Amino acid sequence: MSAIPTRPRFEIQRLAEYSNEAIVAELRRVEALIPEGPFLESDLERLGHVGRNTIRRRFGSWFKALDAADLAHRSSFHIKTRGGHASSRMSDDDILFALRNLATKLGKATLTGSDVSKHLPFSEEILRNRWGTLRSAFEAAGLGATSLGRRYTDDECFENMLAVWTKLGRPPKHKEMSEAPSKVGGKAYIRRFRTWNRALAAFADRVNETADNEEQQKLEGTSVSVVSPSAGDSRRSSGRLPEDARDIRLGLRFHVLHRDRFKCVLCGDHPARNPECVLHVDHMVPWSKGGKTAEDNLRTLCAVCNVGRGNRFVD
């Protein structure tokens, strides 16, 4: 009598443990089986050994679980619809979580619209639709106060433009004003000067005006008018010649940096090549030793070469 074949036992496959680490490993295992397109909860139900309810209880949402497994790029939210259906399915909590997580990854206390557009799967418009303004969205995420909506003075705009120009070693583009080290967004320049080209022209006028005024005051032996950024465009007299003042005004700083090609004259380092490089305009004969704040006594040094110089004479 032939043996009756036994039917294979049906067993529910389970994880050996349900720790966060084990679940993350399971997510990564299943994700590797999905060759293209978004990684969906239904894929995990079909191929995985952990249920969606467990995922939601443990991590809060599918998006947060994928982010914990470094798989957020496989989320359907990362279909770059920029305000379309995929991103509109994200809950408020998921969006706020994504903002906080991005700020942590970028090492920032707050974010800009450029950060959102560059790194996240939703547009600025989604934030405005949900919270009214970008500022409100960032504050809802618990991020620091932003400078959005602030009215800047001309002097603040020009100082900021010089900082970006120094980093790049060339005239900045409008879109680059939303990236570090800029603290004034490109939209602020458009609101103030109407076009980006007019903003650049206004900066050039200020640089030339400052230099021309200082030369004229030097020739006439009159005191220098110093711009006080905190007081808008008002000026006060310092009671001394431009070259006798310690502070190096914007026009002169720009001319020295431009003359030295936005590079350290000692080691040749510059921010366009090394993001860690910070340039200073330095008195060769220290001001405290009688050195003048004049172009022939100024040079561009990186912070490394300038450290420890103190008030020594030129190296």
Tokens of 44: 């995990």
Tokens of 35: 């060759």
Q: Is the dihedral of CA 242, 244, 250, 254 positive or negative?
A: positive
pLDDT of residue 108: 81
pLDDT by residue for the chain (315 residues), tens only, comes to 555 555 555 455 677 788 889 999 999 998 888 877 778 887 888 888 888 778 888 888 888 888 888 887 777 655 444 344 445 567 888 889 889 988 888 888 878 877 887 788 777 778 877 887 788 888 888 886 555 556 788 899 999 999 999 999 999 999 888 888 888 888 888 888 888 999 999 999 988 886 666 666 566 655 544 444 433 443 344 456 777 777 888 989 999 999 999 999 999 999 989 988 999 999 999 888 888 888 899 999 999 998 755 555 555
pLDDT of residue 224: 46
Three-state secondary structure call for residue 171? coil
Q: Is the dihedral of CA 187, 188, 191, 196 positive or negative?
A: negative
pTM score over 0.75? no
The H-or-E segment that residue 191 falls in is helix 186-193
CB 51 within 8 A of CB 10: no
Tokens of 209: 């005006």
pLDDT of residue 79: 44
Three-state secondary structure call for residue 280? strand
Tokens 């079909």 belong to residue = 46
Three-state secondary structure call for residue 233? coil
pLDDT of residue 255: 92
* Other beta carbons within 10 Å of 105: 9
pLDDT of residue 171: 92
d(CA 124, CA 266): 44
- The one-character DSSP state at 273 is T
